[in-house]
């Protein structure tokens, strides 16, 4: 503990001394301090119960501290990446603190007991020992999610355009959509078992349904809200119906479509666990259930973190796609 205190105070002391030097990243130093604290706590204090990767975790956090220490001097030379890092500086500080507190509450004091909670080294242990199986699970889930999500948003988008464009389509389709929309995914399982040749197809259907419905609803709303005079203008300029749909209605409703796709992305992740209940042999959802059944909660947390990171990454990617397609909105919003 004393080493940790020294670490943080040392960091603070150096900061105040070095402050006049240009280009020193203060938050980087503080982050190095908190990460060093986490490392010192992990290594210096005895565990209540033994966990596999205590020393490894201490090393990892120590490396993190060293990383931030180096960055605190060099970050201003890294250009765009450096600016991003600086932006998230406070997060890095809090992350180190969070790791230290988590460590103390679980492994060191045992206030949050096994098996319901796991210290960070417990999760690290899962990654170190079970990474092969996790990777396979990620791949299986990726296949299921990719097929389900993309087919879902494709069908949802096409259906939404039809619903928004054609009165007759909307007359029959909208009530159905509103009825189907709120039905939880697990309620479909009996039907899907009967309707689809394999459980894999049934799972794809569940993911597609979860991601397709918000896309359909928002696309329909978007197409329905297009300013009528856009159609008038296009028609006087000689536009056919086809042109009105593809060059007016769809581009005009694209901002709405993206809201639907974002919602679909979240729903599709939420439904993965249910979808992988259907006789899957691998997959993150399956992994979660399997380990919950065995009370291996460290594995559950480890898999959850992976899922959350993948989902966040995909959201990020979707933002990039959206900004590319909807660049014209810059300055309007």
Binding site for other proteins (CB under 8 A): 227, 229-230, 232-240, 243, 247-248, 251-252, 254, 326, 328-329, 331-332
> Helices in the chain by DSSP H: which ranges?
2-18, 26-44, 54-74, 80-87, 89-103, 120-165, 167-180, 189-195, 199-224, 228-236, 241-243, 250-275, 284-293, 297-325
By C-beta, is 91 or 328 nearer to other proteins? 328
Cβ of residue 228: shortest distance to other proteins, in angstroms? 10
By C-beta, is 136 or 244 nearer to other proteins? 244
By C-beta, is 55 or 232 nearer to other proteins? 232
Cα angle: 262, vertex 266, 267; to 5 degrees: 115
CA distances from 248 to 58, 110, 242 (A): 58, 62, 9
Cα-flanking dihedrals φ and ψ of residue 174, to 5°?
A: -60, -50
By C-beta, is 155 or 326 nearer to other proteins? 326
Contact, 141 vs 285, CB < 8 A? yes
Cβ of residue 240: shortest distance to other proteins, in angstroms? 7
Q: Determine the Cα–Cα distance for residues 52 and 70; give it in Å rounded to an integer.
A: 29
Secondary structure class of 294 (helix, strand, coil): coil
Secondary structure class of 186 (helix, strand, coil): helix
By C-beta, is 145 or 165 nearer to other proteins? 165
At a CB cut-off of 8 Å and minimum separation 6, what does 74 contact? none
Contact, 141 vs 276, CB < 8 A? yes
By C-beta, is 295 or 329 nearer to other proteins? 329
Tokens encoding 128: 């170190």
Cβ of residue 229: shortest distance to other proteins, in angstroms? 5
Cβ of residue 325: shortest distance to other proteins, in angstroms? 9
Cβ of residue 247: shortest distance to other proteins, in angstroms? 7
Tokens encoding 319: 């933002």
By C-beta, is 155 or 234 nearer to other proteins? 234
Cβ of residue 170: shortest distance to other proteins, in angstroms? 19
Cβ of residue 221: shortest distance to other proteins, in angstroms? 18
């Amino acid at each position: 503990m004393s080493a940790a205190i020294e670490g943080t105070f040392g960091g603070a002391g150096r900061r105040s001394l070095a402050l006049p030097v240009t280009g020193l990243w203060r938050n980087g130093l503080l982050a190095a301090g908190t990460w060093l604290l986490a490392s010192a706590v992990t290594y210096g204090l005895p565990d209540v119960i033994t966990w596999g990767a205590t020393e490894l975790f201490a090393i990892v956090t120590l490396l993190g501290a060293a990383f931030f220490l180096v960055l605190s001097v060099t970050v201003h030379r890294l250009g765009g990446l450096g600016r991003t890092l600086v932006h998230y500086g406070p997060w890095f500080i809090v992350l180190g603190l969070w790791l230290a507190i988590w460590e103390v509450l679980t492994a060191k004091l045992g206030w949050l007991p096994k098996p319901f909670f796991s210290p960070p080294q417990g999760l690290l242990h899962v990654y170190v020992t079970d990474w092969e199986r996790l990777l396979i699970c990620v791949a299986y889930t990726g296949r299921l999610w990719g097929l389900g999500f993309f087919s879902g948003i494709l069908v949802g988008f096409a259906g939404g355009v039809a619903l928004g464009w054609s009165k007759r389509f909307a007359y029959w389709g909208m009530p159905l959509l509103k009825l189907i929309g709120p039905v939880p995914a697990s309620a479909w399982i009996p039907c899907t078992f009967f309707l689809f040749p394999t459980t894999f197809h049934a799972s794809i259907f569940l993911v597609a349904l979860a991601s397709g419905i918000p896309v359909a609803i928002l696309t329909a709303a978007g197409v329905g809200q297009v300013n009528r005079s856009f159609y008038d203008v296009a028609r006087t300029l000689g536009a056919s119906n086809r042109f009105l749909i593809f060059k007016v209605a769809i581009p005009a409703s694209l901002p709405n479509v993206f809201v639907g796709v974002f919602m679909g992305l979240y729903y599709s992740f939420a439904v993965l666990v249910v979808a992988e209940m259907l006789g899957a042999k691998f997959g993150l959802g399956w992994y979660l259930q399997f380990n919950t059944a065995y009370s291996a909660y460290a594995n559950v947390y480890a898999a959850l973190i992976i899922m959350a990171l993948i989902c966040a990454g995909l959201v990020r990617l979707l933002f990039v796609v959206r900004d590319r397609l909807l660049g014209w909105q810059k300055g309007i919003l």
